[in-house]
């Protein structure tokens, strides 16, 4: 039957993708997890989104928190529960069970609970029900045998009613729930996990089972923030992105020239490595500026500097980013890496990308992430991030600090193979000064310069100039300038010498021509006499000799 | 609804029982306000009603109010009284509030709690 496959969308971002459309419609789903793992929030968000976005009203039956507390707690998450209650889209029934008040005196059932639930469902015409946490009954009802039988009946009854139910359960040791209620809820079980890794909290979600449908089986990181719950299925990416032929200018015209004349590919990943103070952030700022100049958006994720610090620093090289921030074309997200776990960073970054939909994302620098995870973890995070950016066609620009002692072709996080374009900026120390040079180490799919360029940070931004390549080797900075002026001097001297020689020949030529002319005129007067002819011949021979010496054959 | 009473549970019951014992023997006129919640007129409900009436007549004659509520007819009352099981006998007065779940076929715990056993 088609009913087996129909699903109810939760509206929780990301979860509907992992589950292939949502929770099983008209069936109960068990959400289990430890204390503080977000079970109640998940339940409430399921109802609020249902009522607000999908026109499906809901009933929240709370066994733990009072309805007034619930309203207050969720108001801070932007869920206006009292508004929904007033509009009769949501009903909350707080079931208070006080063990000390209850005494068993014979046979009973939980019909009272059924009636209350049924009454609440009918009062708002609910399609969604949350029972939070039904296991509280185990501490309140003395007869566990009856309770288990009644729970089984309850879930069957809910199925018959056709309401999509979320049941939360406290995780037990060695079992999904403390009282084993997962055996009654066999359609869908989702486990929420909240664990500490090196003093950093990480939340993960896993679909333990989902009968009758395929689903993502990994652990997915999720986030609880002011928008509620969000799951990011960033682990399930493949290499299926389309390659774009469009180019994104780098913001530095000489660099564009080095990259086949047009800049980076749109949707490609770019890595800039370099030791401290080589100008990696300046390259990033150029890209950000040129992106915003075209009216596109740029997201700048900074792990080292604050927003105002970056803006101030970039002003010093003539890049004013402030106007773009005001126009909301440029968004900074500045956070220390140690604030969250790696997964959380990925989730937050992805969420920002989703919200802001930029065409360029800058992460400055990725090397800082190593402080909260090992190389493998950082690489895995970045791989997933790069993949998700590629799928969205977003150009991703990463800077990476490398220590001076390391080989330039090696990044600490080992991500260079992921990148499409890799630019290395280095400093060369000679004659008591450090000069920056830039290489394009690789750039997939385009003709790119194999030559080194000197990289100058001026008040007009980054400028690239040719380095001096000559018999004295590759020279940069003042050595280049000195060598260039020496070269100019030498050239001037050489030209002067040539000019002098030319002038000398010119003078000699003129003298020779004058002589020839004189002889010719003399020969013309003594024509016809053998004596003069002979003398003329001799003169001519003399003239020829002179012409040979002066190197001007036309003299004859 | 008494909420933060758990910690005082034992002592509270004990003192109250003692008070009731005293009160019951001294005056014999302590009023009992009881509600019996049943779910429809099932055999179990009928049995519970019968047992409740018998109990009241036998031990609390002349000093009780017993209200019988069908939760199907008045679900909002079940909600107000925080009833989850059926049948449930709720003792509103005298304090503390108490819920006896079941068909009242085992009157022993009720009698202890109602502090009327000694009286009989």
Does residue A492 come out as left (phi exceeding 0), alpha (psi in the -120 to 50 range) or beta?
Answer: alpha
Q: Does B111 touch chain A (CB under 8 A)?
A: no
What pLDDT is attached to residue A273? 87
Q: Do A93 and B79 touch (CB under 8 A)?
A: yes
Tell me which of B47, B56, B80, B85 to substitute to probe the interface with A (most A C-beta atoms closer than 10 Å): B85
Give the pLDDT score at B119. Answer: 45
Q: Average of pLDDT values for B10-25? A: 56
Residues A158 and A224 in one domain: yes
- Residue at which a domain ends, from A184, A200, A231: A231
Q: Which residues on chain B are in Cβ contact (under 8 Å) with A121?
A: none
Cross-chain Cβ contact A100/B104 below 8 Å: no
Contact B103 A108 (CB under 8 A): yes
Same domain, A63 and A31: yes
Give me the residue label for tokens 């400093």. A427
Name the region of B69 (left: φ>0; alpha: ψ -120 to 50; beta: rest): beta
Contact between residue A222 and residue A190 where contact means Cβ atoms under 8 Å apart: no
CA A421, CA A264: separation in Å to the nearest integer? Answer: 8
Q: Is residue A473 part of a domain?
A: no
Report the pLDDT value the prediction gives residue A362, as an integer from 0 to 100.
92
Sites in chain A below the pLDDT cut of 50 = 1-3, 236, 552-556
Residues 6+ apart with CB under 8 A from B84: A95, A97, A110, A112, A113, A116, A137, A140, A141
Question: CA-CA distances (angstroms) from residue B26 to B21, B64, B112, B119?
Answer: 8, 17, 18, 10
A27 located within any domain: yes
On whether both A208 and A78 belong to a single domain, the answer is yes
- pLDDT of amino acid B5: 45
Which conformational region is residue B28 in: left (phi greater than 0), alpha (psi within -120 to 50 degrees), or beta? left
Q: Is A472 part of a structural domain of the chain?
A: no
ipTM: 0.72
Sheet with A28-33: list strands edge to edge: A90-94, A58-62, A128-132, A164-170, A28-33, A188-197, A200-210, A219-225, A228-231
B98 touches chain A (CB under 8 A): yes
Best of A62, A108, A114, A145 to substitute, by most chain B Cβ atoms within 10 angstroms, is A108
Across the interface, do B39 and A102 touch by the CB < 8 Å criterion?
no
Inspect the interface and report whether the beta carbons of A119 and B75 lie closer than 8 Å.
yes
CA distance A181 to A204: 22
Q: Indicate the helix (H) or strand (E) that contains A76.
A: none
Q: Does residue A212 or residue B24 have the better pLDDT? A: A212
CATH assignment of the domain containing A47: 3.40.50.300
If asked whether residues A455 and A545 sit together in one domain, one would say no
A213 with A284, same domain: the answer is: no
Nearest to A157 by CA among A221, A114, A216: A114
Is A254 contained in some domain? yes
**Nearest-CA residue of chain B relative to A95?**
B82
> How close A142 gets to chain B, by Cα (Å)?
10
Mean of the per-residue pLDDT values of chain A: 82
Nearest to A101 among B97, B103, B104 (CB): B97
Q: How far is B30 from chain A (nearest CA, A)?
A: 20
Same domain as A132, residue A29: yes
> What is the per-residue pLDDT for B102?
84
Shortest Cα–Cα distance, B50 to chain A (Å): 13
What Å distances lie between residue B89 and A101, B28, B69, CA to CA? Answer: 11, 22, 10
CB burial of residue A58 (10 Å; 0-12, 13-18, 19+): buried
Burial of A382 (0-12, 13-18, 19+ CB in 10 A): buried
Cα-only R_g, chain A:
40
Whether A168 maps to a domain, the answer reads: yes
pLDDT of residue A73: 82
Q: Do B85 and A108 touch (CB under 8 A)?
A: yes
Is B9 an 8 Å CB contact of chain A? yes
Task: Name, in order, each residue with C-beta under 8 angstroms of A307's C-beta and a sequence gap of 6 or more.
Answer: A325, A332, A334
Whether A474 maps to a domain, the answer reads: no
Most confident of A5-14, B7-16, B62-71: B62-71
- A256 with A218, same domain? no
User: CA geometry: angle at A332 spanning A328 and A337, to 5°?
Assistant: 160
Minimal CA separation from A82 to chain B, in Å: 19
Single out the residue of A61, A54, A15, A16 nearest to residue A166, CA to CA: A61
Task: Read off the pLDDT of residues A44-103 as tens digits, 9 standing for 90 and up.
Answer: 888 888 888 888 888 999 888 888 888 888 887 778 888 888 888 888 888 888 888 888
A66/chain B closest Cα distance in angstroms: 11
Clarify whether residues A444 and A493 are in a common domain.
no
pLDDT at B65 over 80: yes
Question: A516 is in which domain, residue-wise?
Answer: 481-555
Chain B CB contacts of A141 below 8 Å:
84-85, 101
Question: Which residues in chain A have Cβ-Cβ distances shorter than 8 Å to B71?
Answer: 111-112, 115-116
pLDDT value, residue B4: 44
Domain assignment present for residue A238? The answer is no
In chain B, domain spans: 6-114
Q: Which pLDDT value is given to residue A550?
A: 54
**B102-119 pLDDT, tens digit each:** 888 777 777 776 665 444
Which two structure tokens, joined as six digits, stand for A100?
A: 């000390």
Answer yes or no: are the C-beta atoms of A304 and A368 closer than 8 Å: yes
Residue to test with chain B: of A97, A101, A116, A124, most B Cβ within 10 A: A101
Cβ pair B102:A112 closer than 8 A: no
Question: Residue A233: what pLDDT?
Answer: 63
Q: Which CATH class is domain B6-114?
A: alpha beta
Structural domain count, chain A = 3
Residue B34 half-sphere exposure toward CB, CA atoms < 13 A: 23
| B5 closest CB neighbour out of A100, A102, A110 | A100
Q: Is B52 on the interface with A (CB under 8 A)?
A: no
Domain boundary among A405, A439, A466: A466
What phi, psi does A390 have (nearest 5°)?
A: -65, -40
Q: What is the number of CB-based contacts under 8 A between chain A and chain B?
A: 112
């Amino acid at each position: 039957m088609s009913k087996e496959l129909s699903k109810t969308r939760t509206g929780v971002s990301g979860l509907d993708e992992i589950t292939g459309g949502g929770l099983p419609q008209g069936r109960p789903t068990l959400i289990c997890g430890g204390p503080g793992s977000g079970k109640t929030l998940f339940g409430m968000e399921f109802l609020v989104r249902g009522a607000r976005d999908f026109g499906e009203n809901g009933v929240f039956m709370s066994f733990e928190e009072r309805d007034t507390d619930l309203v207050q707690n969720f108001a801070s998450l932007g869920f206006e529960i009292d508004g929904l209650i007033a509009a009769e889209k949501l009903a909350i029934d707080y079931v208070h069970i006080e063990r000390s008040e209850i005494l068993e005196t014979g046979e009973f059932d939980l019909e009272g609970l059924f009636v209350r639930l049924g009454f609440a469902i009918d009062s708002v015409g609910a399609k969604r029900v949350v029972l939070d946490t039904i296991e509280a009954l185990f501490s309140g009802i003395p007869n566990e045998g009856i309770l288990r039988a009644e729970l089984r009946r309850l879930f069957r009854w809910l199925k018959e009613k056709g309401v999509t139910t979320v049941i939360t359960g406290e995780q037990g040791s060695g079992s999904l729930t403390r009282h084993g209620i997962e055996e009654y809820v066999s359609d869908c079980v989702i486990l929420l996990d909240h664990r500490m890794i090196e003093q950093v909290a990480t939340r993960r979600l896993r679909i333990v089972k989902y009968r009758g449908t395929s689903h993502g089986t990994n652990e997915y990181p999720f986030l609880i923030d002011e928008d509620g719950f969000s799951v990011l299925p960033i682990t399930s990416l493949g290499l299926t992105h389309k390659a774009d032929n469009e180019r994104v200018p780098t913001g530095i015209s000489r660099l564009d020239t080095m990259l086949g004349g047009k800049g980076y590919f749109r949707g490609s990943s770019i890595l800039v490595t370099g030791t401290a103070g080589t100008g990696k952030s300046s390259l990033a700022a150029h890209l950000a500026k040129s992106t915003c100049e075209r009216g596109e958006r740029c997201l700048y994720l900074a792990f080292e500097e604050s927003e105002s610090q970056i803006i101030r620093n970039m002003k010093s090289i003539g890049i004013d980013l402030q106007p773009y921030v005001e126009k909301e074309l440029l968004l900074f997200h500045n956070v220390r890496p140690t604030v969250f776990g790696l997964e959380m960073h990925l989730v937050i970054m992805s969420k920002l990308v989703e919200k802001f939909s930029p065409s360029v994302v800058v992460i400055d620098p990725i090397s800082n992430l190593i402080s909260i995870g090992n190389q493998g973890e950082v690489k895995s995070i970045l791989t997933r991030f790069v993949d998700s950016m590629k799928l969205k066609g977003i150009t991703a620009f990463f800077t990476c600090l490398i220590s001076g002692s390391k080989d330039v072709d090696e990044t600490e996080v080992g991500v260079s193979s992921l990148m499409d374009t890799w630019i290395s900026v280095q400093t060369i120390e000679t004659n008591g000064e450090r000069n920056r040079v830039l290489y394009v180490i690789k750039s997939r799919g385009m003709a790119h310069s194999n030559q080194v360029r000197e990289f100058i940070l001026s008040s007009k931004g980054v400028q690239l100039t040719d380095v001096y390549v000559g018999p004295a080797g590759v020279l940069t900075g003042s050595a280049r300038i000195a060598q260039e002026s020496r070269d100019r001097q030498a050239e001037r001297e050489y030209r002067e010498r040539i000019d002098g020689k030319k002038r000398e020949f010119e003078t000699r030529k003129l003298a020779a021509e004058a002589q020839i002319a004189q002889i010719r005129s003399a020969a013309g007067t003594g024509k016809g006499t053998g004596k003069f002819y002979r003398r003329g011949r001799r003169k001519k021979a003399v003239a020829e000799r002179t012409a040979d010496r002066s190197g001007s054959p036309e003299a004859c | 609804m008494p909420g933060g009473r758990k910690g005082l549970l034992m002592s509270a019951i004990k003192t109250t029982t003692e008070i009731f014992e005293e009160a019951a023997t001294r005056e014999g006129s302590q009023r009992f306000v009881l509600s019996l919640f049943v779910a429809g007129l099932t055999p179990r409900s009928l049995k519970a009603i019968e047992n409740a009436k018998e109990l009241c007549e036998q031990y609390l004659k002349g000093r009780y109010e017993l209200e019988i509520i069908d939760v199907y007819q008045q679900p909002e009352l079940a909600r107000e009284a925080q009833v989850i099981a059926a049948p449930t006998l709720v003792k509103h007065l005298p304090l503390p509030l108490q819920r006896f779940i079941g068909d009242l076929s085992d009157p022993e715990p009720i009698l202890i709690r109602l502090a009327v056993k000694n009286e009989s």
